[in-house]
Structure 1
């Protein structure tokens, strides 16, 4: 499976980097391909290193502005002109999407993917690995949108949440 992962490009505390490394190991050992933002920084670098060390394939989709942070050693590295083109390439090359902890860029990416899925422009699974309850607020907001009729499809058809890396991968396989 080609699995797109959205996550932080910042170096984070072990409580966030350890689950990212475990998820990367599971991807690589499972023979999956990581499709990610192409960076060697922060959690992106942790993911790429872990997938590569475990025997997986790496497809990086970088952006011109950040090409100086591109991961050296990706099996394939594409540089796009801007973030919009990068998001389109990430989704196009993926069979599924996983969201790890991240900042505004990650939030932008997951909401765009959900908006496209809401309109049936793709039907790829989207799983949030909710490490340390990081996305509890997002989950609460999405549940409220669902309960109050703001979503044309049930929330469970758009996104699922996992507590562990193994659970996230199992949800993708389901």
Structure 2
């Protein structure tokens, strides 16, 4: 499978990098391809290094303005003209989407993917690896949207929340 991962390019402490490493090792061990933002920086670099060491193929999709941070060891590296094009390419290459911790860019990516899924424009698994309760607020907001009638589908049909990398991968592979 091509598993697209949205995550931060920031340098983060071990409480965030350790679960990302576990996920990346599992992804590689299961023979999947990592499709990600193509950066060597921060959590993106940690993810790519660990996935590659575990035998995963790497497909990086960088963006022109961040070309200087492109991961040199990718099996395939694509440079998009801008962030919207990169987001489209990341989505198109995905069989499943896993979201690790991240900032506004990650939030933008996951909300667009969920909006498309809400409208039935795709049925790819979307999984948030809820490291250290990072996505608790998002889960609460989505549940409120569901309970108050803002979502035409149950939250559980749109996105799964995983406690660790193995569970995230299981959901991405279509497991329950």
Q: TM-score, normalised by structure 2?
A: 0.97
Q: Does 1:108 align with 2:145?
A: no
Indicate yes or no: 2:26 matched with 1:26. yes
Q: Which residue of 2 aligns with 1:171?
A: 171
Alignment of 1:61-140 (within 5 A): 61-140=61-140
Runs of 4 or more above 3 Å deviation: none
| Cα distance in 2 between the residues matched to 1:127 and 1:79 | 25
**Aligned equivalents of 2:146 and 2:113: distance in 1?**
17
* Residues 1:151 and 2:151 are matched in the alignment: yes
| Number of equivalences | 174
SS of the residue 1:128 aligns to: strand
User: Whole-Å Cα distance in 2 between the matches of residues 142 and 34 of structure 1?
Assistant: 27
Deviation string, structure 1 residues 41-76 (Cα, Å, up to 9, x no partner): 011000100110011100000000101100001000
- Give the Cα separation in 1 of the matches to 2:42 and 2:24: 13
CA distance in 2, matches of 1:101, 1:116: 21
Gaps of 5+ in 2: none
SS at 2:31's partner residue? coil
Taking the aligned partners of 1:44 and 1:122, their CA distance within structure 2 comes to 25
Listed as ranges, the gaps of 5+ residues in structure 1 are none
User: Is residue 2:14 matched to residue 1:14?
Assistant: yes
Superposition CA RMSD, Å: 0.6
CA distance in 2, matches of 1:78, 1:169: 24
